[in-house]
Amino acid sequence: MLRFSVEYKDNGDWKQVEDGSYCTLLNADKGSSEFCEKAAKLILEFVLPCLETGNSIKKLCEKLSWIEWKDVEGGTLLSIIIEAA
């Protein structure tokens, strides 16, 4: 399974965001580097605005951990966000 970890840069050093590391449903053996990059960009699309507001990302990351290859292929995580709401 692929894991994503949310980090931020602080004075040149990367620091992990609390409650920002989750496994996904994505099988690491099946994903090309391009697919993994696309998945990361989709996750970032949702996480970045939450980080910018200073809100906790825990619940959001829990929802995003349900990402599957069909979501990456479709280019959207909307179904995950709606189903988990």
Q: So what's the pLDDT on residue 82?
A: 53
14 neighbors 8 (Cβ within 8 angstroms): yes
Q: So what's the pLDDT on residue 85?
A: 47
Q: For residue 31, what pLDDT band results from cuts at 50, 70 and 90?
A: confident
Provide the 3-class DSSP secondary structure of residue 26: coil
Express each pLDDT in 5-24 by its tens digit: 999 899 999 999 999 999 99
Tell me how crowded residue 61 is: count the other CB atoms within 10 A of its CB: 21
